[in-house]
Amino acid sequence: MSDDTHEPHQLSDGEIKKIRQQVHDDFREYVFNGLPARLIYIPEMKILARDKLLSILRPVIKTITDNELQTVHQESPYPDDLTRGIRNLLGTRIRYAILSHRWFDDGDEPSLQTFSSRAAKTMAGYKKLLKFCEKAQEFGCSLAWADTCCIDKTSSSELDEAIRSMFRWYQNAHICIVYLAESTALSNFDNDTWFTRGWTLQELLSPTRLKFYGTRWVPISGGSNDKEDTAVLDALTRVTTIPEEDLRKFVPGTGNARRILVWASTRRTTRIEDTAYSLLGVFDISMSIAYGEGHRAFYRLMIEVIQVCYEWDLFLFSGPSSLYHRALAESPRSYRPLPPPVAYGSRHRGDEWFSISKRGLEIRLLLFNVLAVPTSANDTPETTGDISISSADESGIFEQMHVKLANPLQPGDFGGIYKWAVGVVDFERLPREGEGRIEEGEDYFAFLSRTRIDYEEWEQLETCDTIYIHSNQDVTGKLTTVWIPPR
């Protein structure tokens, strides 16, 4: 009887030496690519750049044993796996804590330039950093990072790198320490300003280990990782509407993009551009940083998201549209939760091959001609904002409904020069290419559109609320490619 079990290959001294040399090589790469550009060295309370950290951290390599290298080798059948295993091993040795907090409104925070000055030590922000570093040491960290003092904000290139890398820095931290200055218990979360700020969304989602501290640095819970505390997670879901699964282990990307925008819709940033920049890591998107561009930053973000997203519900929003494209929202504030029973990004609904270019948004809709009539008695003789739409024929596919336009029209716009339609966005896709279906008794989202007679391009009209139609019958029809031009 043969024994098919095999003893793990024991590395020779030469093989161990070769792997240890790779550890040395990967160590330098890890410091310059896996760590923030600057870190507080807690034993000396100094901020050190990566080149200075090399000499301080190099002794860490000597603590890695031959047995650990043997284990990493056994678990790495391919060269890339070995590199990844070494990086993970280095991550267990080189630990840093990262701070999530609200800046003091009066700017009483030390910067990189003032951190070592005598004046900085009297600042409330410096005292906050001291408490943060004290907690970091309790988690076994001799390194710490805080956005107030660990970024050279006079350097555009360093600020650019920090914004692009921040999600990853929070993700790679040994522990994220959150200071809630307005909370003493989970019941206070509803009124804590930390949950209303734009940047704190990624600071909540990205870390694998997170610990909340309330007023005077008293722990909110008794555990060491609040992402494993059911009571804390319940409170977080209640306040943020983010499901527990995403709070525990969020995967960045453009999947469920609209749901992420809903999470961000109640949050605010001091700079308009940060509405977009704070979501770069959450969407795993890279784009240039250009403060001063205003709302154009969110427009550029949405263009980047659309390039790699297949979810039509991005175009379902209520509120101001972008100054640069009427089919895109001005900011996350325009997004609200979709009503049940429609699921986000249904795999079998809508056009997943929409695209955007200089010509505009190209998307296929299931169009139904409608009659549009102004209805509001409060409109001026020159403009009308409330209209009634109904089926253009006697089929009665859907009931008459009232719609409020975000931008009132002139009464002459309702004459014979325009053709009106509702375009169902989330039609049921059929096996036959180019056809869609709506089913009796189901609710669907729609755009209100119009085009001049004999024109090809359709204009999407902005409405104050998302339009839903309730289908009174089963209807199958050909899809129409609609171009929604930029402004």
Q: Is the pLDDT of residue 180 over 70?
A: yes
What is the model's pLDDT at position 376? 64
In this structure, the number of other CB atoms found within 10 A of the CB of residue 216 comes to 8
Confidence of residue 342 (pLDDT cuts 50, 70, 90): low
Q: Is the pLDDT of residue 254 over 80?
A: yes
Over residues 267-296, mean pLDDT = 97
Q: Is the pLDDT of residue 178 over 80?
A: yes
3-state SS, the chain, equals CCCCCCCCCCCCHHHHHHHHHHHHHHHHHHHHHHCCCEEEECCCCEEEEHHHHHHHHCHHHHCCCHHHHHHHHHCCCCHHHHHHHHHHHHHHHCCEEEEECCCCCCCCCCCCCCCCCCCHHHCHHHHHHHHHHHHHHHCCCCEEECCCCCCCCCCHHHHHHHHHHHHHHHHHCCEEEEECCCCCCHHHHHHCHHHHECCHHHHHHCCCCEEEECHHHCECCCCCCHHHCHHHHHHHHHHHCCCHHHHHCCCCCCCCHHHHHHHHCCCECCCCCHHHHCCHHHHCCCCCCCCCCCCHHHHHHHHHHHHCCCCHHHHCCCCCECCCECCCECCHHHCCCCCCCCCCCCCCECCCCCEEECCEEEEEEEEEEEEEEECCCCCCCCCEEEEEEEECCCCCCCCCEEEEEEEEECHHHHCCCEEEEEEECCCEECCCCCEEEECCCCEEEEEEEEEECCCCCCEECCECCCEEEECCCCEEEECEEEEECEC
Euclidean distance between CA atoms 273 and 294, whole angstroms: 5
What is the model's pLDDT at position 427? 94
Q: Is the pLDDT of residue 344 over 50?
A: no
What is the model's pLDDT at position 363? 93
Q: Is the pLDDT of residue 379 over 70?
A: no
What is the model's pLDDT at position 423? 93
In this structure, the number of other CB atoms found within 10 A of the CB of residue 75 comes to 12
In this structure, the number of other CB atoms found within 10 A of the CB of residue 287 comes to 15
Q: Is the pLDDT of residue 343 over 60?
A: no
Q: Is the pLDDT of residue 455 over 60?
A: yes
Q: Is the pLDDT of residue 209 over 70?
A: yes
Q: Which tens digit of pLDDT belongs to each residue from 60-99?
A: 888 999 898 888 888 887 777 888 898 889 988 999 999 9
Confidence of residue 102 (pLDDT cuts 50, 70, 90): very high
User: Which has the higher per-residue pLDDT, 264 or 310?
Assistant: 264
Q: Is the pLDDT of residue 458 over 80?
A: no
Over residues 378-386, mean pLDDT = 65
Maximum alpha-carbon separation in the chain: 98
State the angle between helix axes of 79-93 and 13-34 in degrees (0 to 180), rounded to the nearest 10.
Answer: 70
What is the model's pLDDT at position 1? 45
Whether the CB-CB separation of 194 and 220 falls below 8 Å is answered with no
Euclidean distance between CA atoms 227 and 161, whole angstroms: 28
Among 76-85, 200-209, 368-377, 422-431, which range has the highest average pLDDT? Answer: 200-209
Q: Is the pLDDT of residue 277 over 80?
A: yes
What is the model's pLDDT at position 6? 52
Kindly state the tokens that stand for 10: 């024991």
Confidence of residue 345 (pLDDT cuts 50, 70, 90): very low
Over residues 393-417, mean pLDDT = 82
Whether the CB-CB separation of 312 and 352 falls below 8 Å is answered with yes
Q: Is the pLDDT of residue 163 over 50?
A: yes
Name the β-bridge partners of 367: 423
Long-range contact set of residues 259-262: C-beta below 8 Å, sequence gap at least 24 = 259/344, 261/314, 261/329, 261/332, 261/335, 262/332, 262/335, 262/336, 262/337
Sign of CA pseudo-dihedral 313, 315, 321, 325: positive
Choice among 77-91, 166-180, 321-335 with the minimum mean pLDDT: 77-91
Residue 157 Cα to chain centre, angstroms:
23
Q: Is the pLDDT of residue 238 over 90?
A: yes
Choice among 95-99, 264-268, 355-359, 460-464 with the minimum mean pLDDT: 460-464
Average pLDDT, the chain: 90
Confidence of residue 428 (pLDDT cuts 50, 70, 90): very high
Q: Is the pLDDT of residue 383 over 80?
A: no
Q: Is the pLDDT of residue 2 over 70?
A: no
Whether the CB-CB separation of 116 and 72 falls below 8 Å is answered with no
Give Cα separations from 98 to 101, 126, 204, 269 (angstroms).
10, 15, 12, 20
Q: Which tens digit of pLDDT belongs to each residue from 16-46?
A: 889 989 999 999 999 999 999 999 999 999 9
Over residues 143-148, mean pLDDT = 98
Choice among 35-49, 262-276, 470-484 with the minimum mean pLDDT: 470-484
Query: What percentage of residues in the chain have a pLDDT greater than 70?
Result: 95
Euclidean distance between CA atoms 282 and 99, whole angstroms: 18
In this structure, the number of other CB atoms found within 10 A of the CB of residue 59 comes to 9
Residue environment code for 166-183, b if the CB has 16+ CB neighbours within 10 A, otherwise e: bbbbbbbbbbbbbbbbeb
Sign of CA pseudo-dihedral 301, 303, 306, 312: positive
Beta pairing class for 46-49 and 360-374: unpaired
Confidence of residue 347 (pLDDT cuts 50, 70, 90): low
What is the model's pLDDT at position 384? 74
User: In sequence order, what are the residues at sequence separation of 6 or more whose Cβ sits closer than 8 angstroms to the Cβ of residue 44?
Assistant: none
Looking at residue 196, its amino acid is T
What is the model's pLDDT at position 346? 55
Euclidean distance between CA atoms 190 and 373, whole angstroms: 44
